[in-house]
């Protein structure tokens, strides 16, 4: 790629950096409030519940459905996923999905928005507070021409147009108002815990897929790429940490082999049973084993054993 030899010095985006610093410093105070028992138990449970229900908007929604088109969803499910994703506050669906497609198409090059070769902190959060490499901007522009499917979905268009008011309502106002109204949490505690701390934890779970799941873990499917299988990230990110598999088979709606802990796959399967999710794409056992035997690091024994579904005649 011609950009690899380009000398590039990113600039700090000070407003974005200040937002990150404010969020994380306030979150430290939020944990302090929990440790000194100054927050109602219901508020803590509500924060935990909101983090993991809204997370499906990322995993099953903007990631597996809109970014990778790994399955199809009817209108009610798409609306539900769009609302859950908006609760996470992670930009609009179109922008997130477009960036993710750039990441997969140009992974581990200078055109990768969060290129892990630039280090842990850049992949984790630095890419959000530094000006992007010119190659990233160029690839974003070029992929807009081939990502017309995103804006063809009225749910994506609607969420993009009304993102700011939806963000304020779903990510700020309601999370603060619910604890105050229903169990009389203080306004300041609700702001610190139910908005800032929840928001920051959600962000860092997503960030961890870009950093931890590209650096520390095994590579049973392709040892030549950076992405890895990371069990801890998978537990935190509802199944998104099986990243070596995902980068080898990005169109597989499961993002992992069967048997791996993957709550988001269970979520999609549940909606498939009632007909809301359909046309689920999966990699065959033969495809998985062949790739693992050819490129994997041999860290999973079952991939080295004969496939029981294939006769040995």
Give the pLDDT confidence score for residue 170 in this predicted structure.
Answer: 98
Q: Cβ contacts of residue 307 below 8 Å, gap of 6+? A: 285, 286, 289
| Region of 306 on the Ramachandran plot (φ > 0 left; ψ -120 to 50 alpha; else beta) | beta
Q: Which residue has the tokens 């004969």?
A: 306
Structure confidence at residue 259 (pLDDT): 64
Q: What is the pLDDT of residue 313?
A: 36
Query: 144-188 pLDDT, tens per residue?
Result: 998 999 999 999 999 999 999 999 999 999 999 999 999 999 999
Taking each helix axis as running N to C, give the angle between helix 198-210 and helix 41-56, from 0 to 180 degrees, rounded to the nearest 10.
40
The encoded tokens of residue 143 equal 């992929």
Task: Record the tokens describing residue 232, joined without a space.
Answer: 């801890």
pLDDT of the residue at 8: 86
| Residues 222-256: tens digit of each pLDDT | 999 999 999 999 999 999 999 999 999 999 999 99
Average model confidence (pLDDT) across the chain: 94
Mean pLDDT of 187-214: 98
Phi-psi region of 169 (alpha: psi -120 to 50; beta: other; left: phi over 0): alpha
| Matching residue, tokens 């996923």 | 81
Residue matched to tokens 């050819």: 294
**Is the Cβ–Cβ distance between 229 and 239 less than 8 Å?**
no
Reported pTM: 0.93
Q: In this predicted structure, what is the pLDDT of residue 312?
A: 36
Confidence of residue 195 (pLDDT cuts 50, 70, 90): very high
Tens-place pLDDT, residues 38-66? 999 999 999 999 999 999 999 999 999 99
Question: For 265-292, what is each residue's pLDDT tens digit?
Answer: 999 999 999 999 999 999 999 999 999 9
Instruction: Tell me the pLDDT tens digit for each residue of 137-149.
Output: 999 999 999 899 9
Contacts of 126 (CB under 8 A, 6+ apart): 118, 119
Residue 308 has pLDDT above 70, yes or no: no
Of 136, 116, 143, which is closest to residue 207 (Cα–Cα)? 116
Q: Taking a C-beta distance cutoff of 8 angstroms, is the pair 202, 54 a contact? A: yes
Model confidence at 299, pLDDT cuts 50, 70, 90, reads confident
Beta bridge partners of 72: 278
Q: Please, which pLDDT band fits residue 261 given cuts at 50, 70 and 90?
A: confident
Cα torsion through 248, 82, 31, 189, rounded to 10: 180
Contact indicator for 93, 62 with CB cutoff of 8 Å: yes
Of 247, 231, 201, residue with least CA distance to 106: 247
260: pLDDT strictly greater than 90: no
Structure tokens at 81: 């996923």
Say if residues 93 and 156 touch (Cβ distance below 8 Å). yes
Q: Inform me whether the pLDDT recorded for 306 exceeds 60.
A: no
Alpha carbons 272 and 77: distance in angstroms, whole number: 10
Residue 296 DSSP class: -
Paired tokens of 221: 């499917």
CA distance 185 to 101: 41
What lies within 8 Å, CB to CB, of 217 at 6+ separation is 228, 229, 230, 231, 241, 243, 244
């Amino acid at each position: 790629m011609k950009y690899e030899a380009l000398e590039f010095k990113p600039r700090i985006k000070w407003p974005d950096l200040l937002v990150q610093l404010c969020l994380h410093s306030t979150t430290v105070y939020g944990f302090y409030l929990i440790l000194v028992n100054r927050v109602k138990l219901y508020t803590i449970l509500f924060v935990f519940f909101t983090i993991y229900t809204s997370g499906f908007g990322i995993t099953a929604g903007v990631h597996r459905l809109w970014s990778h088109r790994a399955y199809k969803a009817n209108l009610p499910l798409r609306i539900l996923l769009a609302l859950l994703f908006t609760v996470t506050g992670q930009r609009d669906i179109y922008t997130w999905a477009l960036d993710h497609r750039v990441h997969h198409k140009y992974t581990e090059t200078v055109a990768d928005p969060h290129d892990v070769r630039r280090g842990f902190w850049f992949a984790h959060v630095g890419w959000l507070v530094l000006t992007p490499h010119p190659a990233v901007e160029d690839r974003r522009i070029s992929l807009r021409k081939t990502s017309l499917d995103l804006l063809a979905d009225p749910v994506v268009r609607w969420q993009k147009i009304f993102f700011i008011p939806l963000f304020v309502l779903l990510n700020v106002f309601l999370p603060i108002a619910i604890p105050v109204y229903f169990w009389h949490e203080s306004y300041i505690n609700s702001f610190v815990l139910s908005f800032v701390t929840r928001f920051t934890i959600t962000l860092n779970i997503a960030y961890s897929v870009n950093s931890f799941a590209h650096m520390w873990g095994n590579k049973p499917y392709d040892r030549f790429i950076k992405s890895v299988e990371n069990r801890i990230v998978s537990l935190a990110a509802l199944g998104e940490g099986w990243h070596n598999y995902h980068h080898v088979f990005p169109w597989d709606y499961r993002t992992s082999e069967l048997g791996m802990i993957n709550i988001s796959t269970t979520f999609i399967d549940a909606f498939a049973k009632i007909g809301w999710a359909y046309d689920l794409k999966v990699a065959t056992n033969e495809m998985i084993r062949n790739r693992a035997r050819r490129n994997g690091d041999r860290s999973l024994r079952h991939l080295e054993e004969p496939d029981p579904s294939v006769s040995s005649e």
